[in-house]
A = this chain, B = another copy of it.
Amino acid sequence: MRDVAVIGVGMTKWGELWEKSLRSIFVESALLAIQDAGVEKIDSMVVGCMSSGLFIGQEHLASLLSDSLARNPVPATRVESACSSGGLALRQGFIEVASGLSDVVLVGGVEKMTDVTGSEATYALGTAADQEYEGYHGLTFPGLYAMMAVAHMNRYGTTRDQLSMVAVKNHDNGSKNPLAQFPSRISVEAVNNSVQVADPLRILDCSPITDGAAAVILCPADMAAKMKKPVIRITGTGHASDTIALSSRKDITWLESTALAARKALAMAGRKIEDIHLFEVHDCFTIAEIMITEALGLAERGRGGRAVEEGLTSIKGKHPVNPSGGLKAKGHPVGATGVAQAVEVVKQLRGEAGDRQIKGARCGLTQNMGGTGGSALVHVFERE
């Protein structure tokens, strides 16, 4: 397999973009990435999107977007793995370049979520759960993660304040990210006292509904070496599935797919978790980030709550997690999230992350997951 590098990144401001369509937000980000890479020609496109069918009544999405981008007749592939669709797109693009079949591949992620009502959005997101065993019996995602939170609190003593500290940290980081949907600081009290969604989760424990897109350009590492920008290689990719229904899991306080995907990606990169300087992870709910911290091995099992409380995962801590603001503050257009994580890591490794720059960062990791962990994608990025 050939070595693969990221040579361009693009992302625009996320939020409730009622005046823009899915294709326009995708094209904006894709054009930024193409401009950043300084390439004329792309050989192929891979697009991650969870449910354009339910959100905007459109499938056949990748061809539609290659057309919107005036890139027909390039091969255009859409992949779906619920909220990890973006990370999966990155992996497919990586494999395509690594295989030698294509040189320059545009990897994009997109979701347009605010053109439907709240209950329609809840239904669409619910299709990431096992509908026959969960959704059709009334479970929604806040409810599923609430069960995971209750179990984690009961077993390990994780506290309500620790959940809130995840949100506070990520909003602190997000306040320095001009592209974030909610670039505002919040307090532990504000989270604790925000409206309850599914006990113990409050509204400020939850990532928002967002319209947004993100894009990166991949090419062989030897081609990237001839360009002007710092070369950021993807040195590891890991992908794993798990049961979708929580009821089938051995342990609902543990994210096995994330642990496995991370182990594979790190082994491929020849790295240990201690070698990584920053992490962009899938904090769809505050409890998720706590569990991911454990699955990645940044904290011992059950100690993810303490890790955030002790500042281990803050931007100035030993293991900075979600310097971008994470899903919580940056927003969570589900199909775009995994690609946006790569955008942030590349900016950090290039030293282009502005006020939230982690000094001297040369190695970063993204962790993106679908549903309650039914799928997980982990990638390792390194600056040469």
Distance of A272 from chain B, by nearest CB (Å): 21
Distance of A334 from chain B, by nearest CB (Å): 9
A96 contacts across to B, CB distance below 8 A: 95, 99
Task: Please tell me how many copies of the chain the complex holds.
Answer: 2
Q: Is the CB of A128 within 8 A of B242?
A: no
**Contact for A95 among B52, B73, B101, B260, CB less than 8 A:** B101
Mark out the residues of chain A between 51 and 76 whose CB falls within 8 Å of any chain B CB in the assembled complex: 51-54, 56-64, 66-67, 71-76
Q: What is the chain B residue whose CB lies nearest that of A60?
A: B82
Number of chain A residues whose Cβ lies closer than 8 Å to a Cβ of chain B: 64
Inter-chain CA distance A53–B81, complex, in Å, is 12
A82 contacts across to B, CB distance below 8 A: 59-60, 63
Q: Is the CB of B57 within 8 A of A101?
A: no
Q: Is the CB of A95 within 8 A of B88?
A: no
Q: What is the chain B residue whose CB lies nearest that of A50?
A: B59
Asked if A57 meets B135 with Cβ closer than 8 Å, knowing A63-B374, A101-B98, A374-B63, the reply is yes
Q: Is the CB of A81 within 8 A of B60?
A: yes
Q: Is the CB of B95 within 8 A of A60?
A: no
Distance of A168 from chain B, by nearest CB (Å): 30
Inter-chain CA distance A77–B79, complex, in Å, is 7
Mark out the residues of chain A between 326 and 376 whose CB falls within 8 Å of any chain B CB in the assembled complex: 370-371, 374-375
A78 CB–B CB distance under 8 Å:
yes
Inter-chain CA distance A53–B49, complex, in Å, is 12
Inter-chain CA distance A243–B23, complex, in Å, is 13
A53 contacts across to B, CB distance below 8 A: 51, 53-54, 124, 127
Q: Is the CB of A66 within 8 A of B131?
A: no
Q: Is the CB of B123 within 8 A of A57?
A: yes
Residues of chain A whose beta carbon lies under 8 Å from any beta carbon of chain B: 1, 21, 50-54, 56-64, 66-67, 71-82, 88, 91-92, 95-96, 98-101, 123-124, 127-132, 135-136, 239-245, 248, 256-257, 260, 370-371, 374-375
Minimum-distance CB pairs A-B, first 5: A99-B99, A75-B239, A60-B82, A59-B127, A53-B53
